[in-house]
Structure 1
């Protein structure tokens, strides 16, 4: 388990409250000064992403003034400034100063980052833990690239530790307040479960899947994850189908399920230990956090109905298949795929195991487009993709040899001829797939797709093998 870097509490209470005028007066031995400088400098580094031709036009003093003003005045909101920046920065030729001068634009630009830092600290009740004047110096130093007081790696680690500690402290305080307020609803595992609206008598089955209305918020009440499309819509319209393996369900929800009923509405308060712990939750393929490490969360949950896991997607798949069978110019293969001829090809029929060049549009059982090779080829200025029938899903291996070059077809594959019970990164388990395919050309194996070159295995002499074995023995 990672060791937390806890903020020295005495330092927070007795930290020097002096206001340095420049970097030379900052006391880096003082924790409050050190973290304040680091936070300000970190905010200033956002401008390293601004193109130099634009950054050079900005008034650095007004960037600093805007940052400080919106950091220190909680009644200020940057809504007006965001509108000003949108107008000023919308020109492709640079900053448009026809309506607002550079001083105003720069002040607004700085205000965005001052408000961002203030909101972050306020949400954790931590504004008192920093010295705004020192943060201002850090911000200004970063803008002028004179930020040399704290090495960047040390600064980043310090800020991460600081935020983790704040999350931890704020979460603990939040749970103390909620436990005191709802003392009869605290469960032995530590989470709090409140029934807001009664439901039926059917218990939640963790082995099934749920048609659920679900919202998760942080301790400030900001929505993190939600099924809600529009608060004006009904529960049924806002619900989604998920099962307990979905990442949206932390351990607290799974523990609470033994007390919950279908149709009832609940609120769950949980500490980070039963939520996403010290790792937090990152967005897919991104370094950004959806849920911060050590964060407590609140969950609002209402299971409208439940059933067999993947039952909904199987049912939708059967509907897609039955509808496909009714189309004209359609064959139903004994293996299970359905092939509709949209436009008869004039070329030769594709042979089994052949190489094929084709465009395709892939849709799931909800009719959502998952892949579109026309669009991908256009964006990347590439020809239609080529593939070997020996390296594709079973349904393509069986269905494409029924097609002719130059033709357009619709191929519907039940899950057992597609990606099966496991699915893949973009396709759910048990998903029925629909492909609209345009066959451009085909050829014998190896004519359109080059076989992958097998990596040559390194060859060792007897002497080299003996030396390797000796090295391994010496390491033991």
Structure 2
């Protein structure tokens, strides 16, 4: 999965990105947008807010609202054609985005695709963004495809985990809490409780396969009542010597705020081996 997450967030997230410092610049105008449309032979519609959009495919699924969670594929450009960022899939909360992007995504149904041309007043205005990667007064062009629409992050996490299970041909069990676990080897030794001290070798990945943490083969010792809920619940499904996978929704992982390099609302996969139960 190709994803330039940090750059993308600096481009589109609205909260805490716009500087209060006064900036002098000459914003790009509606005439500049019209020139872009004509030179690229686009057929567009202008909304009451000033957003321009072009529909390649309206889509046939659910229509997002201003509070929806969406999986989005996109490319972003300036009017001069400079490609500033792109991703094959990213999960976004429409309520956190710049106004033009939030409005524009709602013009498509699930499966829909097209182009959004966002004037600066619906993007980062005359301040630009805080990192300086979006200059003041800049019009942004987004080529988007709405891959999926969800009512909330719980629904999105569930769909992502089920897709991971299917893509990797896994046989998984779902618990009442929403945890999924895969037993490759149940083990034959002592079975821990939720308060045991254990030694576990593990590899933690995002569902796209990117590793965010990994122990040595000898593992790490810790108390199960002092780790994320997905581990407190999941490790006791194995005995000493057991191996498998824990698929942890954000509600049993690092929650809404995330931790270090793990963003909030992120489902996680852990390959684990229970080496020993220490007490």
Q: TM-score range by the shorter chain?
A: 0.5 to 0.7
Change (3 A) 1:360 1:203: closer
Residue 91 of structure 2 aligns to a residue in which SS?
strand
Q: Deviations over 1:314-354 (max 9, x none)?
A: 1232455696546xxxx8767655352527355x4445423
Change (3 A) 1:404 1:219: same
Choose which of 7, 14, 21 in structure 2 pairs with 1:2: 21
Residue 423 of structure 1: CA displacement?
6.6
Task: Quote the Cα distance in structure 1 between the aligned partners of 2:57 and 2:164.
Answer: 36
Change (3 A) 1:416 1:174: closer
Conserved in 1, the CA contact under 8 Å of 2:68 and 2:94? no
Change (3 A) 1:223 1:404: same
Q: Which has the higher helix share?
A: 1
Structure 1 residue aligned with 2:234: 399
Conserved in 2, the CA contact under 8 Å of 1:316 and 1:366? no
If asked which structure has higher relative contact order (CA below 8 Å, sep 6+), I would say: 2
Structure 2 residue aligned with 1:418: 252
Task: Quote the Cα distance in structure 1 between the aligned partners of 2:184 and 2:56.
Answer: 53
Choose which of 159, 180, 193 in structure 1 pairs with 2:52: 193
Structure 1 residue aligned with 2:183: 340
Q: Which has the higher strand share?
A: 2
State whether structure 2 residue 166 is matched by structure 1 residue 313.
no
Task: Quote the Cα distance in structure 2 between the aligned partners of 1:394 and 1:265.
Answer: 41
Task: Quote the Cα distance in structure 1 between the aligned partners of 2:212 and 2:115.
Answer: 34
CA-atom RMSD, angstroms? Answer: 4.1
Conserved in 2, the CA contact under 8 Å of 1:212 and 1:302? yes
Matches within 5 A, 1:13-32: none
Residue 439 of structure 1: CA displacement?
3.2
Conserved in 2, the CA contact under 8 Å of 1:253 and 1:268? no
Residue 421 of structure 1: CA displacement?
6.1
Residue 158 of structure 2 aligns to a residue in which SS?
helix
Residue 413 of structure 1: CA displacement?
4.2
Structure 2 residue aligned with 1:222: 82
Change (3 A) 1:280 1:419: same
Task: Quote the Cα distance in structure 2 between the aligned partners of 1:333 and 1:254.
Answer: 35
Q: Deviations over 1:364-383 (max 9, x none)?
A: 44554442223xx9xxxxx7
Residue 397 of structure 1: CA displacement?
1.9
TM-score, normalization by structure 2:
0.65
Residue 390 of structure 1: CA displacement?
1.8
Residue 360 of structure 1: CA displacement?
0.4
Structure 2 residue aligned with 1:429: 265
Conserved in 2, the CA contact under 8 Å of 1:359 and 1:438? yes
Structure 1 residue aligned with 2:243: 409
Structure 1 residue aligned with 2:117: 268
Task: Quote the Cα distance in structure 2 between the aligned partners of 1:341 and 1:198.
Answer: 43
Task: Quote the Cα distance in structure 2 between the aligned partners of 1:412 and 1:200.
Answer: 34
Name stretches of at least 5 consecutive residues in structure 2 with no aligned partner.
1-19, 39-43
Conserved in 2, the CA contact under 8 Å of 1:174 and 1:219? no
358-367 or 177-186, which deviates more? 177-186
Change (3 A) 1:384 1:185: same
Change (3 A) 1:222 1:314: same
Residue 160 of structure 2 aligns to a residue in which SS?
helix
Residue 173 of structure 1: CA displacement?
4.0
Structure 2 residue aligned with 1:130: none
Structure 2 residue aligned with 1:471: none
Residue 291 of structure 1: CA displacement?
2.9
Task: Quote the Cα distance in structure 1 between the aligned partners of 2:191 and 2:181.
Answer: 18
Structure 2 residue aligned with 1:243: 92
TM-score, normalization by structure 1:
0.42
